Structure 1
Amino acid sequence: MPPVPSQVPFTQFVLKVHSRCDLACDHCYVYEHADTSWRGKPRTVSEPVLAAAAARIGEHARAHRLTAVHVVLHGGEPLLAGPAVLRRAAELLAAALPEGCALDLRIHTNGVRLTEEFCELFDELGIKVGVSLDGDRAANDRHRRYADGRSSHAKVLAAVELLRRPAFRHLYAGLLCTIDVENDPLAVYDALVGLAPPRIDFLLPHATHDEPPKRPEGLGPTPYADWLLAVHERWTAHGRPVPVRVFDSVHRTLRGRSSLTESLGLDPADLVVVETDGTLEQADSLKTAFDGAPVTGFDVFAHTLDQVAAHPGMMERQSGLAGLSEQCRACPVVRSCGGGLYAHRYRTGRGFDNPSVFCGDLMKLITTIRDRITPVATVPAQSGPAERPLTDAQLDELAQGLGSPGTIRALAAAQLGLTRRLLAALSAGAPESWSLLAELDTAAPRVLDAVLAHPYARSWAVRCLEREPGGDLGGFAELAAAAALRAGREFELPVPVRGGAVHLPTLGRLRVDGAGEAVLHGTAEGFTVRGVTVGWDAPESPAWQPVRRVELPGGPVLALEDTDPQRDAHQWPVAERLPEAELLGWAGALREAWELLRRDLPEYAQGLPAGLSTVTPLRPGPDGRDVSAAARQAFGAVGIARPATAPTLALLLAHEFQHVKLGAVLDFHELYDPADERRYHAPWRPDPRPLEGLLQGTYAHLAVTAYWGTRVRAYGGLDSGAAEQARVQLATWRGHTARAVETLAGSGSLTALGLRFADGMRATVEPWLAVEVGRAAERAAAERSAAVG
């Protein structure tokens, strides 16, 4: 079910602990740009401010059931605050957070004052350290100097070398580099990569339409794109040796995933700044726009963070596509660009209702990277049994939004074949694991199929083929080991250790000491890794965490997948290992939801056991909203945050399984012209959607319409709040769906088969249009539609 738009809680906090700096960088937005508020701020944050800020963050985390908050100790130069203040900030923050909410605490420094004593303190308190460095000495000294002109480069390098020591390496968070197009991009990149950072952030210099960035003669109209693309080419040629946030964000957003930075993508801003005097402000980057631009008028003593989130400036930065200028909304790369950094859109007289001052650079950067990315291996849309797995009769079933068990089994078999082909395309990189898989394909093909049908086997393979950071060939060994264990084979195989665990798809994970790689020895009785032995009859323990399954009455056995690291393939963050009480809650809710689906939506439920194998628990949505998702590359899985009631869970399952079915169809059958890059109005969303997005939403809402229609019929003429809500929901979703079908049919971009799907969807929704709901429900539905836009 689509989430209801609402205020997004803060999860990221910048806590200013010192308001002055020991360098005089001429590109600094705090001291060198339009805002002058730093002059009136206390130099060092006080104990009362720290205590109140920690309390507000804890209060916010508790109210929104946050599972983690990210806090950056900042300045000025935060090390000027001294170790006592930094220790107190960490202690107060840790004490204020509710149980179950993790604290990700970091400090961002210019590095010139970093000492071994500071590192020992950060080690004790769990504070990770990011360092600003603009490249080699020539590049760094162009801007990052002391007030008397002295170079800071040697001291910053000493700080980085300190963080690279084995004792402190785990504190090293990465390097931040502000781009100057007069610096040699490859020399800058080589200098930074040579310091082996865990991550590099390249930042565009802060600028506005009033104070545009420098564009030296002879460098062309898009020098910032050209600079970054030169780095991207070398980074790609070197095998992406280190994550680069801007490149990773472009890659992710081009695939419809979230950005890793607020300067790209349409994800809502969820950051607030606490100044040294306790005032609560918007992002620091706004200081480049005009004097007082970040001000909200709120402070930690008198105001809650929910009040800050409701500030017009904050709401504007959380409004996604609707908050962009008309030119941006019509742009073909807006999903990746997101209009650029909010501050970079400012122009006197028009505020922020403008494209970014770096618009041309962002367009060139995104489209060039898009064209460089290797396409994902796909199944050719040609005739033949392998490429056309469905009969005409089965396609007509699916066109109506339905699908018998036989039809869904045909889809599942085709998906398994696709996964096998993806693995074959990767096999050269993992010969030992591939050899074991090939042996199992002969000796135990059904066992191998059971492992390869795991939804996240495919999502892992796709990431590897796309060369996305985090998609590594260690997944081959995990799949081979899991299949060999299930087949009772005796073998030895090196497997990766990820996050302190060995992961076995469809089986579970074993917590082990250390990292890197470990040898797994398997037998018919179990397996051993690093001296830890797990037998097949071993109960769950802190070390061994098996995949847990829920058997539904007369239906499928669903895996509740909370162990596989590849499961984070949905648009919402996944939940961690479910505690026992939550597991029991899931089991009861799933059983009840299944019974409701069989009773109320039998035509949609009948195929579900053949195509749904996995439910991945997600974290609760903001403000308790119901959230769910189906990952395009993970056939057989849906992600859901467990809702408050079983009927809602039934609706979410039906809704998301529609996406699962249609995504599988689209892997083998063209329903529309992929060259159509237009955006279409979706009645349930304020932002226009690409054609596939509109098609997916319409198809999913067939089940939503049927769900509410069935409930309206069950209530009959009953006069109650629940009955009236059902009538309003039916009026809303049947109207949305019917209008969307006509938009699809009239697009001119559907194939002949796509038009058959439009006809089928129209035939499915039409009977619900005739169900009487009453004028009040129709009026309420019309008001809802008008509010969406």
Structure 2
Amino acid sequence: MTTRIPLPLTQFVVKMHSRCDLACDHCYVYEHADSSWRARPKVIGDEILTRAAERLGEHAVAHRLTAIRVVLHGGEPLLAGPDRLRRAARTLRAALPSGCALDLRIHTNGVLLSRAFCDLFAETGIKVGISLDGDKAANDRHRRYADGRSSHPQVLRAVALLREPAYRHLYAGLLCTIDVENDPVRVYRALAELDPPAVDFLLPHATWDEPPKRPAGQGDTPYADWLLAVHGLWEADGRPFAVRTFESVHRTLRGFSSLTESLGLEPSDLAVLETDGTFEQADSLKTAYDGAPATGLNVFDHSLDDLARHPGIAARQSGLPGLSPTCRSCPVVRSCGGGLYAHRYRSDDGGGGFDHPSVYCGDLMTLINGIAAHGSPVVVPAQGGEPVVPAALTPPQLDELARGYGGADTVRALTRSQLALTRAMLAAAWDASGQGRAEAWSLLAELDVAAPAAVDAVLAHPYARAWAARRLAGDLGTDLGPLAALAAAAAVRAGRGDAVAVPVRGGWLHLPTLGRIAAPAGEAVVTGLAGGFSVRAADGSVRTTLDEPLRRIRLAPGWTVSLEDVDPLRDSHDHAVSERLSTGELLDWTGALREAGELLGRDLPGYADGMRAGLTTVTPLRPGPAGRDISSAARQAFGAVGIARPATAPTLALLLAHEFQHVKLGAVLDLLDLYDRSDDTLYLAPWRPDPRPLEGLLQGTYAHLAVTEYWGTRSLAYDGLPGEAADRARREFALWRQYTAEAVERLAESGSLTSAGLRFADGMRETVTPWLAVPLPPAAEQAAARARQERAMA
């Protein structure tokens, strides 16, 4: 027998109890074609649990798995009792190697959930998912006791327990089986009121033999229409919780992996252990025919490698080649993936029972096209129908940004939207490249499922999308090496043993977010290992350490920035970047940045919180002409600012705040239009002699809100005190408050601002107007007037 398997298994359903205390009429275990449950023991035995844990441990060691997910299931798993559940958790955890994490969950109908169970789950690290189909009317349509009583009050009581502060960390989410006769708005609102971290909306299991109900008058795609109605509400609410179906469509449309086996082309890696110790395929197959999930394998006689080689498991891992000809030629196949495997079944086709499109084929196409038609990002309609607020931001957050500020939560919302944009741009650039470096792209997609935090950390690096931006702008001279470097950095962070070849440029192998290694020309193979990495260069030499690691500086508690002087894509600014800093230069930067961080917290507290959340990278630039400070924010590098270190820390603080204003506004402009982009008029900015496009005026005005407040705060601090520093603060404050106020009015009067742009102008005016009322000595006003006159005559 061959020892090679198509793909290791990493997700397992363990049946703790094979009976249920409810009689849901849509249950695939008891109400569909398969009847194997009748012959199985009610409760899983200790010997089976012990052997299953050993099998999991063997599989994790053999395939160097870093994580395994186990869902304790049924029937109703709480019927197994607390002692057996505790034993299962401890046995499973003890069997896994030290480098493999156990994501342990339980899925329950909730009616038996108690404080004692919650204490047990807190003790053993078990997260809890609850089945709930909506409000009472929706839930009672199917989820009742055998005598017809409603289970809804008991389920609400269970969810209320999980929402208590002591148990909130256990709350994994809600699972809702769709019934198109239930009102989607009422269902969504009922679930949203329970503040879930996630909701899974599931299509009811059906096949071509037993198709789903399609009520008269609801059209040809009622399930898509139902889900699209929920999707619209979810987007309008700012995506308040995770929904795997919607997120999977968004991800697959951008070229990334799905989060559910119901969509996408990623191979399934799930198996089921029944209470009698037999291994089965996915439970959903019970809806096809009696015995459909059976494998003939058991936990005592067969390993998980044996199970992974089973033809049924392999069929669910075959991707695009395993789909029907109709599916393979479909334009949305990479998002749909043929739908859930069980939903393809038809018995009257001469033997190829699953070689069909999903019985929900039309619904899936309508759903995917409907979500795609929203575009990314989606904009929420206002009362009169005009788009004004991006779904990534709440209205209060948008108003906060309009006033020039933006706290930590608001900037984190911008960060999430920028991460999504980076993914989309990388996918588009790779797709347009002729799809070279497929191994690097495939690895990124795989790690996005297996180690999403590693991928997010790399893609959140400000210069991660610089390559994609250049490719999409028509610079086809850039090759795919940076994509391979991103995949390699993610592999190192994941530490799973993945390997990828990366080109060496200019004698250096660069790993974004980590640093660089000296290497001979050619390609080097980077392998991410637990706790480290190895790099095999073209000459056969092997390295396991970085020659020049990325340096990080702690500016303040909770705020650390990277001092980026090695990334070859950092030359995204309008000024030349510095080479690798010497030790002395690094010490100078460290002291200046730390002092600047303290000054920002003191002098610009309304800006500092957002900067702590979003300013992650400072790129040293080469010094400019004597007496001129140099700084920059690159449009495609969210989170980074470029600065030539100025003479003093206060000036550095001002430059950091100024440039981060550009960073924030750039992210807002990626979400919605603030002005008519067809306006090619040039506008005079009060602080510049040359006219600027409207976006230039908008960017400058927004940045100078922070400049005005910086000098205003320092002027107030010097109130009544003499000296050159005090005089300068008053003079600069008088100058910049007037410049900024004039620029706000010039923007408002341009006639080219959208409703959202006018909202921004109102917010900026609201911020700058109080500063105009602050009294200053006549000498300061006169000095500022002279400076304005000299600038106008320049």
TM-score scaled by structure 2? Answer: 0.52
2:510 pairs with 1:558 = yes
Separation of aligned partners in 1, 2:328 and 2:276 = 38
CA contact (8 A) 2:18 2:75 kept: yes
Shift of 1:80: 0.1
Separation of aligned partners in 1, 2:149 and 2:249 = 37
Shift of 1:559: 4.1
Shift of 1:242: 1.2
Shift of 1:315: 0.6
Q: Which residue of 1 aligns with 2:231?
A: 232
Q: Which residue of 2 aligns with 1:370?
A: 372
Q: Which residue of 2 aligns with 1:17?
A: 16
| Runs of at least 5 residues in structure 1 that lack an aligned partner in the other structure | 378-421, 437-456, 469-497, 508-549, 564-573, 595-607, 614-632, 637-789
- The change in CA–CA distance for 1:551 and 1:177 in structure 2 (over 3 A counts) is closer
Letter of the 1:129 partner, please give it.
V
Q: Which residue of 1 aligns with 2:669?
A: none
Letter of the 1:367 partner, please give it.
N
CA contact (8 A) 1:558 1:612 kept: no
Q: Which residue of 2 aligns with 1:206?
A: 205
CA contact (8 A) 1:552 1:590 kept: no
Separation of aligned partners in 1, 2:314 and 2:106 = 27
Q: Which residue of 2 aligns with 1:69?
A: 68
Separation of aligned partners in 2, 1:505 and 1:432 = 24
Letter of the 1:297 partner, please give it.
G
Q: Which residue of 2 aligns with 1:681?
A: none
Q: Which residue of 2 aligns with 1:121?
A: 120
2:128 pairs with 1:171 = no
Separation of aligned partners in 2, 1:306 and 1:634 = 45
CA contact (8 A) 2:461 2:512 kept: no
- The change in CA–CA distance for 1:555 and 1:283 in structure 2 (over 3 A counts) is same
Per-residue CA distance 1:459-483 (angstroms, 9 max, x = gap): 9625169999xxxxxxxxxxxxxxx
Q: Which residue of 2 aligns with 1:42?
A: 41
Q: Which residue of 2 aligns with 1:718?
A: none
Q: Compare CA radii of gyration and give the structure with the larger one.
A: 2
Residue 106 of structure 1 aligns to a residue whose secondary structure is strand
Per-residue CA distance 1:40-89 (angstroms, 9 max, x = gap): 01000000100011111111111110000000000000000000110110
- The change in CA–CA distance for 1:75 and 1:590 in structure 2 (over 3 A counts) is farther
CA contact (8 A) 1:274 1:281 kept: yes
Per-residue CA distance 1:333-375 (angstroms, 9 max, x = gap): 0000000000000000340001000001001000011011236
Residue 28 of structure 1 aligns to a residue whose secondary structure is coil
Separation of aligned partners in 1, 2:457 and 2:248 = 28
CA contact (8 A) 1:14 1:74 kept: yes
Aligned length: 454
Alignment of 1:420-459 (within 5 A): 431=401
2:301 pairs with 1:302 = yes
Separation of aligned partners in 2, 1:458 and 1:162 = 33
Kindly, what percent of the aligned residue pairs are identical?
62
- The change in CA–CA distance for 1:609 and 1:261 in structure 2 (over 3 A counts) is closer
Shift of 1:236: 1.1
Q: Which residue of 2 aligns with 1:461?
A: 418
Separation of aligned partners in 1, 2:527 and 2:70 = 21
Separation of aligned partners in 2, 1:274 and 1:323 = 25
CA contact (8 A) 1:57 1:305 kept: yes
Letter of the 2:301 partner, please give it.
A
Per-residue CA distance 1:116-155 (angstroms, 9 max, x = gap): 0000000000000000000000000000000000000000
Q: Which residue of 1 aligns with 2:104?
A: 105
- The change in CA–CA distance for 1:559 and 1:376 in structure 2 (over 3 A counts) is farther
Separation of aligned partners in 1, 2:322 and 2:458 = 42
CA contact (8 A) 1:376 1:466 kept: no
Q: Which residue of 1 aligns with 2:275?
A: 276
Q: Which residue of 2 aligns with 1:512?
A: none
2:52 pairs with 1:53 = yes
CA contact (8 A) 2:254 2:424 kept: no
Separation of aligned partners in 1, 2:332 and 2:300 = 42
Separation of aligned partners in 2, 1:339 and 1:374 = 24
Residue 72 of structure 1 aligns to a residue whose secondary structure is strand
- The change in CA–CA distance for 1:31 and 1:462 in structure 2 (over 3 A counts) is same
Q: Which residue of 2 aligns with 1:478?
A: none
2:327 pairs with 1:351 = no
Separation of aligned partners in 2, 1:253 and 1:553 = 32
Per-residue CA distance 1:138-195 (angstroms, 9 max, x = gap): 0000000000000000000000000000000000000000000000010000000000
CA contact (8 A) 1:273 1:283 kept: yes
Letter of the 2:513 partner, please give it.
E
Alignment of 1:137-286 (within 5 A): 137-286=136-285
2:50 pairs with 1:93 = no
CA contact (8 A) 2:99 2:530 kept: no
CA contact (8 A) 1:328 1:355 kept: yes
Quote the RMSD (CA, aligned, Å).
Answer: 4.2
Separation of aligned partners in 2, 1:203 and 1:231 = 13
Residue 12 of structure 2 aligns to a residue whose secondary structure is strand
Shift of 1:232: 0.8
- The change in CA–CA distance for 1:553 and 1:178 in structure 2 (over 3 A counts) is closer
Letter of the 2:374 partner, please give it.
R
Residue 187 of structure 1 aligns to a residue whose secondary structure is helix
Separation of aligned partners in 1, 2:153 and 2:539 = 60
Residue 88 of structure 2 aligns to a residue whose secondary structure is helix
CA contact (8 A) 2:512 2:567 kept: no
2:291 pairs with 1:292 = yes
Letter of the 2:306 partner, please give it.
Q
Shift of 1:239: 1.3
Shift of 1:552: 8.5
Q: Which residue of 1 aligns with 2:788?
A: none
Separation of aligned partners in 2, 1:45 and 1:591 = 52
CA contact (8 A) 2:34 2:290 kept: yes
Per-residue CA distance 1:510-561 (angstroms, 9 max, x = gap): xxxxxxxxxxxxxxxxxxxxxxxxxxxxxxxxxxxxxxxx999962373463
Q: Which residue of 1 aligns with 2:131?
A: 132
Alignment of 1:398-417 (within 5 A): none
Residue 108 of structure 1 aligns to a residue whose secondary structure is strand
Shift of 1:241: 1.2
- The change in CA–CA distance for 1:78 and 1:183 in structure 2 (over 3 A counts) is same
Residue 461 of structure 1 aligns to a residue whose secondary structure is helix
Residue 122 of structure 1 aligns to a residue whose secondary structure is helix
Shift of 1:225: 0.6
CA contact (8 A) 2:458 2:513 kept: no
Separation of aligned partners in 2, 1:559 and 1:59 = 33
Residue 207 of structure 1 aligns to a residue whose secondary structure is coil
Letter of the 1:344 partner, please give it.
H
- The change in CA–CA distance for 1:634 and 1:502 in structure 2 (over 3 A counts) is closer
Residue 107 of structure 1 aligns to a residue whose secondary structure is strand
Letter of the 1:90 partner, please give it.
A
CA contact (8 A) 1:562 1:575 kept: no
Separation of aligned partners in 2, 1:302 and 1:124 = 33
Residue 296 of structure 1 aligns to a residue whose secondary structure is strand
- The change in CA–CA distance for 1:262 and 1:503 in structure 2 (over 3 A counts) is closer
Separation of aligned partners in 2, 1:587 and 1:432 = 51
TM-score scaled by structure 1? Answer: 0.53
Residue 69 of structure 2 aligns to a residue whose secondary structure is strand
Letter of the 1:463 partner, please give it.
A
Q: Which residue of 2 aligns with 1:773?
A: none
Separation of aligned partners in 1, 2:424 and 2:222 = 27
Per-residue CA distance 1:236-262 (angstroms, 9 max, x = gap): 111111111111111111111111110
